[in-house]
Structure formats: structure tokens, C-alpha cells
């Protein structure tokens, strides 16, 4: 299930991708993706 925060994050990323902001932001936030993905890993 998608919560409100996740929906907003996905919306922001899609806006950045479709407006062309993503290539401009890549030098500033290019390495953050791996950190964010590791943050979401949980043991069950």
C-alpha cells in the first residue's frame, strides 16, 4: 500500500524527470539513491 509520504516522493521524482530537472540535479544528489535504498531495508 502506498502511504501519503511515498506518493508525494514519487510525484516529486516524476515531476523532476519529466520537466528536465533531473539531469541538472544529478551532480548534487547523484549518490544519494544508494543511501536512501539502504535506509528502506528492514528485516522481517
Please tell me the distance from the alpha carbon of residue 41 to that of residue 24, in angstroms, as a whole number: 28
Output the pLDDT for position 16: 85
Contacts of 25 (CB under 8 A, 6+ apart): 16
Residue at grid coordinates 541538472: 24
pTM for the whole structure: 0.50
Is 14 in contact with 23 (CB distance < 8 Å)? no
Total tally of structural domains belonging to the chain: 1
Whole-angstrom distance, CA of residue 41 vs CA of residue 5? 17
Residue 22, class by beta-carbon neighbours within 10 Å (0-12 exposed, 13-18 middle, 19+ buried)? middle
Is residue 44, in this structure, part of any structural domain at all? no
Q: Would you write out the chain's pLDDT as a tens digit for each of its 44 residues?
A: 678 888 888 898 889 889 988 788 777 777 666 565 555 556 66
Is residue 35 domain-resident?
yes
Residues spanned by the domain of 31: 4-39
Amino acid at each position: 500500500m502506498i502511504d501519503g509520504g511515498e506518493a508525494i516522493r514519487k510525484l516529486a521524482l516524476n515531476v523532476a524527470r519529466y520537466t528536465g530537472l533531473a539531469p541538472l540535479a544529478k551532480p548534487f544528489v547523484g549518490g544519494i539513491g544508494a543511501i536512501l535504498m539502504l535506509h528502506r531495508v528492514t528485516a522481517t
